[in-house]
Amino acid sequence: TRHVTEPVIPPACATLSAQLSVSGNKVADADEGKLDTARIQKAMDTCGQGKAVVLKPSGANNAFLTGPLQLRAGVTLVVDGGVTLLASRDPRVYDISPGVCGTITAKGHGCNAMINGDGVSGAGVMGDGTIDGRGGAKIMGQNITWWDLAEKARQGGSQNCPRIMILNQCDNFTLYRITLKDSPNFHVSYNRGNGFTAWGVKVNCPRNARNTDAIDPGNARNVTITHCFIHTGDDNIAIKAGAPGPTTQMTIAHNHFYTGHGMSIGSETNGGASAILVSDLSIDGADNGLRIKSNSHKGGLVKDIVYEDVCIRDTKNPIYMDSDYEHGGRDGKLLPQFTGIVLRNVHIVGGGKLTLNGYDPAHKLGMLFDNVTFADLAKIKVISEHMEIGRASCRE
């Protein structure tokens, strides 16, 4: 319901000079305690709306080191080209409850994010620099990395690892040109807001870094993600649609995905997801391509989803409609239904598996294939049940 144009970096209200230097993702051991959190936060707290706090290099110094920051309404944080904003490795600075961050507990979610927004409108994070979550660096006081902790949690429980960005009820938020890398957990989580733009964002994270989703908008509307390049270890984009909703009016256009778990909707869909357009997307070497996932414990109606002008290459699961995600079983009462799903001008190169599964005869998968092409149909395996597929054009 809005017209989106390329963002513009606001004028500066304050310019902060780097006092540390970084090589790779490392600063000198003696500098690990020299946090810039207080001076960055003070600058944002005193900045006028419509202005920016700019982090700039100074001679050989090119890094800032921070714990959690709180964004302010109408204020943009700009990480200038050549600058890296590094996350502290100290789990204590992220604690929501004392001593929890950096441990495994039953529920997880025990860490504040590196950058936090709560009910602030018109804020943003921009610039040609890098924000580094340092997920592959050792947690201070432990002999494991954040990602090691996530792997350890596979044995039971949930890891408490900070995200780079958690944005709750932040209307008209903008990410522009920034590079995000190596988050210990999700890179960007945007929840319950109206108006989110990610334009020209780069996300870089290893394939094997667990739970490192790139950009996850949930229970949000008027979302645009465009001109982005994403390599990550989990969902490249995951649109969350849990209660209370709505999750609607989203455009994902002109993007390039590489390693990751693909263009996903779910697994929470019980709040409903609708009116989502994915256009001009390349997916190259991911585990999944176009994926909608849910199960009987968190399912709901997903409708009016259009994928058009998409090229998928060397991807294990090019199309993955999964109504029993994580084998959630048949004992839940929140049943998933995916209908009005359109694939138009979708080209698949290489082998892989198509999973086209509705939940049951009353909750069928409803899809239209319109000019869906397969470069090598002999290498494609199809698994399907409880579906109604229309075919305007489908060819090898």
- Catalytic residue list: 234, 261
CB 176 within 8 A of CB 126: yes
| Separation between Cα atoms, residue 84 and residue 57, nearest integer Å | 9
| Separation between Cα atoms, residue 329 and residue 285, nearest integer Å | 30
Interior angle at CA 280, CA 355 and CA 125, nearest 5: 105
Residue 378, Cβ density class (10 Å: 0-12 exposed, 13-18 middle, ≥19 buried): exposed
For the chain, the residue count is: 396
Neighbours of 379 (CB within 10 A): 13
CB 289 within 8 A of CB 318: yes
CB 64 within 8 A of CB 33: no
| Separation between Cα atoms, residue 229 and residue 127, nearest integer Å | 15
Q: What CA–CA distances, in Å, run from 370 to 52, 240, 281, 307, 345? A: 46, 26, 16, 10, 6
Both tokens assigned to 313: 């290459």
